[in-house]
Amino acid sequence: MSGKQRTVYAGLVNEKMAGQAITLKGWVQKRRDLGGLIFVDLRDREGIVQLTFSDEFSKDALKTAERIRSEYVISITGVVSLRAESAINPKMKTGKVEVLVHQAEILAESKTPPFDIEDGVDVNEELKLKYRYLDLRRPEMQKGLILRSKIMSSSMRFMEENGFLDIETPYLAKSTPEGARDYLVPSRIYPGSFYALPQSPQLFKQLLMGAGFDRYFQIARCFRDEDLRGDRQPEFTQLDMETSFMNQGEIMELVNRWITQIMSDVVKANIDSNSFPVLHWQEAMDRFGSDKPDLRFGIELHDVSEIMKQTNFTVFTGAIKKGGFVKAIVAPKGATKFTRKMIDGQTDYIKRFGAKGLAWIKFENGEFSGPIAKFVSDVKGQLVSFLSLSDGDLVFFAADTFSVVSDTLGYLRKYVAKELDLIDESKWDFAWIVDWPLFEYSEDFGRWIAAHHPFTMPNEEDLHYLDDGEDPHLAHAQSYDLVLNGYELGSGSIRIHTMDIQKKMLKALGFTSDQAEKAFGFLLEAMEYGFPPMGGIALGLDRLAMLLSGKENIREVIAFPKNSNATEPMTKAPSRVSEKQLAELGLRVPE
Amino acid sequence: MSGKQRTVYAGLVNEKMAGQAITLKGWVQKRRDLGGLIFVDLRDREGIVQLTFSDEFSKDALKTAERIRSEYVISITGVVSLRAESAINPKMKTGKVEVLVHQAEILAESKTPPFDIEDGVDVNEELKLKYRYLDLRRPEMQKGLILRSKIMSSSMRFMEENGFLDIETPYLAKSTPEGARDYLVPSRIYPGSFYALPQSPQLFKQLLMGAGFDRYFQIARCFRDEDLRGDRQPEFTQLDMETSFMNQGEIMELVNRWITQIMSDVVKANIDSNSFPVLHWQEAMDRFGSDKPDLRFGIELHDVSEIMKQTNFTVFTGAIKKGGFVKAIVAPKGATKFTRKMIDGQTDYIKRFGAKGLAWIKFENGEFSGPIAKFVSDVKGQLVSFLSLSDGDLVFFAADTFSVVSDTLGYLRKYVAKELDLIDESKWDFAWIVDWPLFEYSEDFGRWIAAHHPFTMPNEEDLHYLDDGEDPHLAHAQSYDLVLNGYELGSGSIRIHTMDIQKKMLKALGFTSDQAEKAFGFLLEAMEYGFPPMGGIALGLDRLAMLLSGKENIREVIAFPKNSNATEPMTKAPSRVSEKQLAELGLRVPE
Q: Would the pLDDT of B1 be above 50?
A: no
Residue-wise pLDDT for A241-277, tens only, equals: 999 999 999 999 999 999 999 999 999 999 988 889 9
**Closest listed residue to residue A10, CA positions, set B245, B242, B494, B156:** B245
HEC-encoded secondary structure of A304-333 = CHHHHCCCCCHHHHHHHHCCCEEEEEEECC
Phi, psi of A396 (to 5 degrees): -105, 140
Q: Is the predicted pLDDT of residue A354 greater than 50, yes or no?
A: yes
Q: Do residues B25 and B102 share a domain?
A: yes
* CATH number (domain holding residue B379): 3.30.1360.30
Cβ separation of B223 and A5 shorter than 8 Å?
A: no
Across the interface, whether the CB atoms of A171 and B245 are under 8 A apart is answered no
Question: Does the distance separating the beta carbons of B245 and A560 come in below 8 Å?
Answer: no
Is A582 inside a domain boundary? Answer: no
- Whole-number Å distance between alpha carbons of A247 and A249: 6
Q: Are residues B264 and B147 in the same domain?
A: yes
> How many other C-beta atoms are found inside a 10 Å radius of the C-beta of residue A560?
24
B169 reaches A (C-beta below 8 A): yes
pLDDT confidence of residue A275:
83
Residue numbering of the annotated binding site of A for L-aspartate: 178, 224, 452, 495
Tell me the nearest-neighbour CA distance from A470 into chain B, angstroms.
Answer: 25
Q: Is residue A307 part of a domain?
A: yes
Q: Who contacts B237 (Cβ-Cβ below 8 Å, separation ≥6)?
A: A168, B219, B220, B221, B222, B540, B541, B542
- Nearest CA-CA partner of B370 in B393, B404, B388: B393
Look at residue A408 and tell me if it is in a domain: yes
* Rounded Cα–Cα distance for residues A312 and A19 (Å): 84
Cβ contact, residue pair A223, B133, below 8 Å? no
B193 touches chain A (CB under 8 A): yes
Q: Span B383-402, mean pLDDT?
A: 96
H/E stretch holding A51: strand A47-54
Bridge partners, A538 (sequence order) = A240, A491
Instruction: Determine if residue A407 is left, alpha or beta; phi over 0 gives left, psi from -120 to 50 gives alpha, anything else beta.
Output: alpha
Terminal Cα-to-Cα distance of chain A (whole angstroms)? 49
Q: Does ipTM surpass 0.90 in this model?
A: yes
Asked if the structure places residue A147 within a domain, the reply is: yes
Residues A416 and A454 in one domain: no
Neighbours of B155 (CB within 10 A): 24
Interchain CB contact of A570 with B (< 8 Å):
yes
What is the rounded CA–CA span in Å between residue B553 and residue B180? 22
pLDDT in tens, B301-331: 999 999 999 999 999 999 999 999 999 999 9
Is B178 in the same domain as B273? Answer: yes
- Contact pairs from chain A to chain B, CB under 8 Å: 353
Instruction: Give pLDDT tens digits for B271-306.
Output: 988 889 999 999 999 999 999 999 999 999 999 999
Would A118 be classed as within a structural domain? no
**What residues of A are in contact with residue B529 (Cβ under 8 Å)?**
71, 110-111, 113, 131, 133-134
pLDDT tens-digit readout, B18-75: 999 999 999 999 999 998 999 999 999 999 999 999 999 999 999 999 999 999 999 9
| CA dist., res. A142 & res. A288, Å (int) | 36
- Say which residues have a Cβ less than 8 Å from residue B391's Cβ, sequence separation at least 6: B363, B364, B365, B366
- By Cβ distance, the residue of B175, B188, B212 closest to A45 is B212
B392: left (phi over 0), alpha (psi -120 to 50) or beta: left
Average pLDDT over residues A535-558: 96
SS3 B572: coil
A284 within domain boundaries? no
Query: HSE (CB half, 13 Å, CA atoms) of A226?
Result: 16
**A76 and A43 both lie in a single domain:** yes
Residue-wise pLDDT for A118-172, tens only, equals 988 889 999 999 999 999 999 999 999 999 999 999 999 999 999 999 999 999 9
* Among the partner residues A244, A565, A590, nearest to B189 by beta-carbon distance: A565
Q: What is the CATH number of the domain that holds A31?
A: 2.40.50.140
E-assigned strand segments in A134-293: 165-166, 183-186, 194-197, 215-223, 235-244, 278-280
**Per residue, what are the HEC states of B42-65?**
EEECCEEEEEEEECCCCHHHHHHH
pLDDT for B441 equals 84
User: A146 at the B interface (CB within 8 A)?
Assistant: yes
Q: Quick one: pLDDT at residue B2?
A: 47
Which residues in chain A touch residue B532, judged by CB atoms under 8 angstroms apart?
25, 73, 107-108
**Which structural domain range is residue B252 located in?**
141-279+431-557
Judgement on whether residues A61 and A90 belong to the same structural domain of the protein: yes
- CB contacts, 8 Å: A72 with chain B: 530
A384 and A328 share one domain:
yes
Give the confidence band of B230 by pLDDT, cuts at 50, 70, 90.
Answer: low
Closest-approach residue (CA) in chain B for A139 = B212
Q: Using CA coordinates, name the residue in chain B closest to A174.
A: B573
Write the pLDDT tens digit of every residue in B59-76. 999 999 999 999 999 999
- Asked if A529 lies within 8 A of B142 by C-beta distance, the reply is no
pLDDT in tens, A395-439: 999 999 999 999 999 999 999 999 999 999 999 999 999 999 999
**Is residue B67 a known part of a binding site?**
no
pLDDT band at A47 (very low <50, low <70, confident <90, very high): very high
CA distance A520 to A508: 15
Closest chain A residue to B74 measured between Cα atoms?
A532
DSSP A439-503: EEEETTTTEEEESS-TTBPBPGGGGGGGSTTS-GGG-BBSEEEEEETTEEEEEEEEBP-SHHHHH
Going by C-alpha positions, the residue among A298, A300, A318, A487 that lies closest to residue A406 is A300
Residue finishing a domain among B52, B85, B108 = B108
DSSP B588: B
Q: Is B495 annotated as a binding residue?
A: yes
B524 vs B384: CA distance, rounded Å: 57
Contact yes or no for B192 and A576 at CB 8 A: yes
Interface test with A, best of B185, B218, B250 (most A CBs within 10 A): B185
Q: Which residues of B touch A528 (CB under 8 A)?
A: 110-111
Q: What's the CATH number where B458 sits?
A: 3.30.930.10
Whether residues B394 and B483 share a domain: the answer is no
Where among B361, B391, B423 does a domain terminate? B423
Q: Does A186 touch chain B (CB under 8 A)?
A: yes
**A496 domain-assigned:** yes
Give yes or no for a contact between B164 and B241, defined as CB atoms under 8 angstroms apart. yes
- Report the residue from A225, A250, A531 with minimal CB separation from B108: A531
**Whether the predicted pLDDT of A85 surpasses 50:** yes
Selection from B280, B278, B395 nearest residue B330 by Cα: B395
Average pLDDT of chain A, as a whole number: 95
pLDDT > 50? residue A1: no
Confidence of residue A591 (pLDDT cuts 50, 70, 90): low
Which of B108-112, B134-138, B581-585 bottoms out in mean pLDDT, i.e. has the lowest?
A: B581-585
| A515: confidence class by pLDDT, cuts 50, 70, 90 | very high
What does the pLDDT look like over A476-504, one tens digit per residue?
999 999 999 999 999 999 999 999 999 99
Q: Is A549 on the interface with B (CB under 8 A)?
A: no
Q: Which of A356-360, B151-155, B237-241 has the lowest mean pLDDT?
A: A356-360
The pLDDT assigned to A79 comes to 98
- Report the number of distinct structural domains present in chain B: 3
Given this model, what pLDDT does residue A100 score?
98
B177 and B69 housed in the same domain: no
A292 in a structural domain: no
CA distances (Å), A380 to each of A330, A366, B284, in order? Answer: 14, 10, 94
Is B102 annotated to bind a ligand? Reply is no
CB contact under 8 A, A204 and B560: yes
Q: How many CA atoms lie within 13 A of B251 on its CB side?
A: 30
In chain A, whose CA is at the least distance from the CA of B157? Answer: A153
Same domain, A224 and A309: no
Is any Cβ of chain A less than 8 angstroms from the Cβ of B182?
Answer: yes
* Predicted local distance difference test score (pLDDT) of residue B591: 66
Number of CB atoms found within 10 A of residue A310's CB: 12
DSSP string across B145-201: HHHHHHHHHHHHHHHHHTT-EE----SSB---SSSSPPEEEE-SSSTT-EEEE-S-S
Contact B273, B259 (CB under 8 A): yes
Q: Residue B107's closest chain A neighbor by CA?
A: A532
> What average pLDDT does the segment A342-356 reach?
94
Backbone angles phi, psi at B329, to 5 degrees: -125, 150
User: Which residues make Cβ contacts (< 8 Å) with residue B120, sequence separation at least 6?
Assistant: none
Task: Please identify, among A402, A423, A444, the residue that sits at the C-terminal boundary of a domain.
Answer: A423
- Could you tell me if B148 and B275 lie in one domain? yes
Please tell me which of the candidates B190, B567, B588 has its beta carbon nearest to residue A588.
B588
The answer on A318 and A213 residing in a single domain is: no
Contact criterion met (CB below 8 Å) for A527 and B107: no
Half-sphere exposure of B33 (CA within 13 A, CB side): 10
Closest-CA distance of chain A to residue B83, Å: 27
Report yes or no: B336 at the A interface, CB cutoff 8 Å. no
